[in-house]
């Protein structure tokens, strides 16, 4: 991430086969600060995310992502 980047973002990913070190390295390079994963995150991926200071949560169910707020027109 370059010095002139002034935004932060999280990624919501669904990897049917799991989330591995290669996935973690790619997201760290992109400057992600957090990861919500619909599946399992491998130990090696967790280590990479931890070392980069990226927070993560695995096995997130779709209903956990629903907003409690109602939309206003």
Query: Structurally, how many domains does the chain consist of?
Result: 1
- The arithmetic mean of pLDDT across residues 50-62, rounded, is 91
The pLDDT of residue 55 is 93
Structural domain includes residue 2: no
Structural domain includes residue 3: no
Has residue 72 got a pLDDT over 70?
no
Provide the edge-to-edge strand list for the sheet that holds 55-57: 10-13, 34-37, 55-57
39 versus 25: the higher-pLDDT residue is: 25
Structural domain includes residue 34: yes
Core vs surface per residue 29-56: b (16+ CB within 10 A) or e = eeebeebbbbeebbeebbebbeeeebeb
Domain housing 27:
10-62
Strand partners, 19: 41
Structural domain includes residue 26: yes
Structural domain includes residue 73: no
Has residue 12 got a pLDDT over 80?
no
Structural domain includes residue 72: no
Structural domain includes residue 70: no
Structural domain includes residue 57: yes
pTM: 0.74
């Amino acid at each position: 991430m370059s010095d002139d980047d002034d935004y932060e973002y999280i990624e919501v990913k669904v990897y049917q086969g799991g989330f591995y070190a290669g996935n973690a390295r790619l997201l760290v390079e992109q400057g992600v600060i957090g990861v919500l994963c619909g599946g399992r995150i491998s130990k090696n991926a967790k280590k990479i995310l931890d070392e980069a200071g990226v927070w993560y949560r695995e096995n997130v169910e779709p209903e956990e992502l629903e907003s409690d707020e109602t939309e206003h027109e």
